[in-house]
Amino acid sequence: MSVGEYCVRKVVTAGPEDTVHTAAQRMAQHEVGALVITEGRKPVGIVTDRDLVMRVLVQGDNPQMVALRTVMTNNLVCVSEHAALEEAVSRLRTYHLRRLVVVNEAGELVGVFTLDDLLKLMGEYQETLANWMRVACRPRE
């Protein structure tokens, strides 16, 4: 199973010169907690709702004047869409992340794989296993 099979491919993005205010509006409109910052089709950063609060609002900066370039996390941890799920899990754990940017061979954005995606997948496996156990362990007549 590859990361590309389970990642979210409808990624909400922003540009590095977009403002924090615009980013917050986009997050609210799409009901997401993070935006991948792109230049063309390549991811160059990520910004979360927490980043906006901690790096802008708490500091008293004007969200309409601050560009995302100045508050985004730019040392992205990416994973190939062809990577095994185990590799994605290892990166999430190693770097203490909730989100990984998923890229193709050209380094272009194709999706995001999140801790929530992993938890959903684990729940599905648990349900499948429970159903199998009910059938396999049924008393024979």
Q: What is the mean pLDDT of the chain?
A: 91
Which residue ranges form the domains of the chain, and what is each CATH number?
Answer: 3-136 (3.10.580.10)
Question: Residue 128 above 70 pLDDT?
Answer: no
Average pLDDT over residues 106-124: 87
Say what the pTM is: 0.84
Taking the C-alpha atoms of residue 114 and residue 7, their distance in angstroms, rounded to an integer, is 7
Average pLDDT for 51-59: 93
Contact 57, 122 (CB under 8 A): no
- Mean of pLDDT values over 90-97: 94
pLDDT digits (tens, 9 = 90+) for 129-141: 677 777 777 776 6
